[in-house]
Amino acid sequence: MPIGLEVTASNISAFLLGIAPVISIILIVLGGIAYGLSYTQPAESRGKWQTSGMGMVVGGIIISAIAIGATKIQEAAAGLLT
């Protein structure tokens, strides 16, 4: 792998690891707000709000799980290349 590409990939990785916790918390909070607001909506649209809220919460949890395991994933991927 060329040196420039390795540095670029490392910088992208560091950036994503830095913003992942923030994105995760934002998604979980917004999902909770959307889910809570769903109970103020009429019955016809309540399901859409609840689905969106739960989707954001689950997305936030998945992002945090990936961010936690990212270093292990990176180490495993580097081991495959050598």
Whole-number Å distance between alpha carbons of 38 and 65: 27
Those residues whose C-beta lies under 8 Å from the C-beta of residue 39, and which sit 6 or more positions away, are: 46
pLDDT for residue 2:
61
Per domain, the residue ranges of the chain are: 24-81
pLDDT for residue 13:
82
Residuewise pLDDT in 10s, the chain (82 residues): 566 777 887 888 888 888 999 999 999 999 999 999 999 999 999 999 999 999 999 999 999 998 888 878 878 877 777 6
**Which pTM was predicted?**
0.77
pLDDT for residue 82:
63
User: Helices marked H in 1-82 — which ranges?
Assistant: 3-37, 43-81
pLDDT for residue 28:
96
Q: Is 42 helix (H, G, I), strand (E, B) or coil?
A: coil
